[in-house]
Amino acid sequence: MSTGLLIRNTIDRLEEGFMAVSLAFMTLLTFTQVVLREFGGGWVWSLEATTYTFGWMVLVGMSYGVRTKSHIAVDLFAKKLPPPIRRIVALTAVGLCLVYCGFMFYGGSIFVDRLMMLGNNARDIPLPRWLLTSIIPVAFMLLTYRFLELAWAINKGIETGLSADHGAHRDNKGDAET
């Protein structure tokens, strides 16, 4: 296994593991909170910890979604195009996604930068706010990386578009949206 592949696999694993652990953590935390309240107790930091974990899970999940091609798109029209045009359209679509990533990365960076200057802690968690929100630029950087990967694959003709073929990826995945 080459080093590049090794690093990629490690990132993939980290993404999946992180998402699973986050979800388990926030579920158990919220559940525990309900139980503790019945006995007149509870932790002040619980809700804030849950929402930040939620934010991190979703942001990391964005790029995971590009890799597994599970983002929902209306691919009806693009799929009807002849292959050479379809490739150009798909590359344009990915290009626009990259523009979006750029905007959000920039916005996220200045947000974190501003919080660093303010230097205050979160309401209930004894951690600086900039640290808790630092995932925003990081996640959009990861998302950029995944879209670049996809653009490369589309250009090489390995992939045809942003979403998987219907039917194929929906098999036994009824837990989808909705």
- Asked if residue 26 lies in contact with residue 57, where contact means CB atoms within 8 angstroms, the answer is yes
What's the Cα-to-Cα distance from 139 to each of 6, 167, 177, rounded to whole Å?
20, 29, 22
For 172, the token pair is 């036994």
> Binding to another protein by residue 34, rule CB under 8 A?
yes
Q: How far is the CB of 3 from another protein (least distance, A)?
A: 26
- Asked if residue 47 lies in contact with residue 127, where contact means CB atoms within 8 angstroms, the answer is no
Q: For the window 129-148, what string marks contact with another protein as x by the rule CB under 8 A?
A: ----x--x------------
The residues in 79-138 that bind another protein, with binding defined as CB under 8 A, are: 79, 89-90, 92-93, 96-97, 99-100, 103-104, 106-108, 110-111, 114, 133, 136
- Asked if residue 157 lies in contact with residue 87, where contact means CB atoms within 8 angstroms, the answer is yes
Q: Which of 11, 33, 128, 141 binds another protein (CB under 8 A)?
A: 33
Indicate the residue among 4 and 48 with the shorter CB distance to another protein: 48
Tell which residue, 130, 88, 82, 89, has the closest CA to residue 109: 130
Q: For the window 38-77, what string marks contact with another protein as x by the rule CB under 8 A?
A: x--------x--xxx-xx-xxxxxx-xx--x-xxxxxxxx
